[in-house]
Amino acid sequence: MTAERRLACLAEDLAPGTAMTVPGDPPIAVYHTEEGEFLATADTCTHEKWSLGSDGDLEGCEVTCPLHMARFDIRTGEALCFPATVALQTYKVEIDGGKVFVVG
């Protein structure tokens, strides 16, 4: 069985320190850290249904949900503080020909 490979964007279109949501089922948040790394997690906060890719605040390798300030490590998905207690699913990211793909 082959994992689905979803095109997120062109690497040059996602500035360092920003994030975006890749629509689909499920939606996926793609992050471009200030250090140049591309990472991806489930887009929806595990505490409340809120988009992290569209509305979250990315700082380093942590994203904060603006609804109740839950924080997650985007490398591991780990919930870092209350009110979130459930980790985010993480996804593999591949850069191919200047395009960012999410695998999973």
Partnered with residue 10 across adjacent β-strands are: 99
| Contact partners, residue 1, CB within 8 Å, separation at least 6 | none
Look at residue 1 in the predicted model and tell me its pLDDT.
62
- The burial of 63, by beta-carbon neighbours within 10 Å (0-12 exposed, 13-18 middle, 19 or more buried), is given as buried
Q: Tell me, what's the pLDDT at 3?
A: 83
**What pLDDT is recorded for position 18?**
98
Q: Concatenated DSSP letters for 2-39?
A: PPPEEEEEEGGGS-TTEEEEE-SSS-EEEEE-TTS-EE
Q: Which residues contact 86 (CB under 8 A, 6 or more apart)?
A: 46, 47, 79
Write phi, then psi, for 13 (nearest 5 degrees). -85, -10
What local confidence, expressed as pLDDT, does residue 8 receive?
98
Q: What is the pTM of this model?
A: 0.96
Q: Which residue ranges of the chain lie beneath pLDDT 50? A: none
Phi, psi dihedral angles at 75 (to 5 degrees)? -80, -35
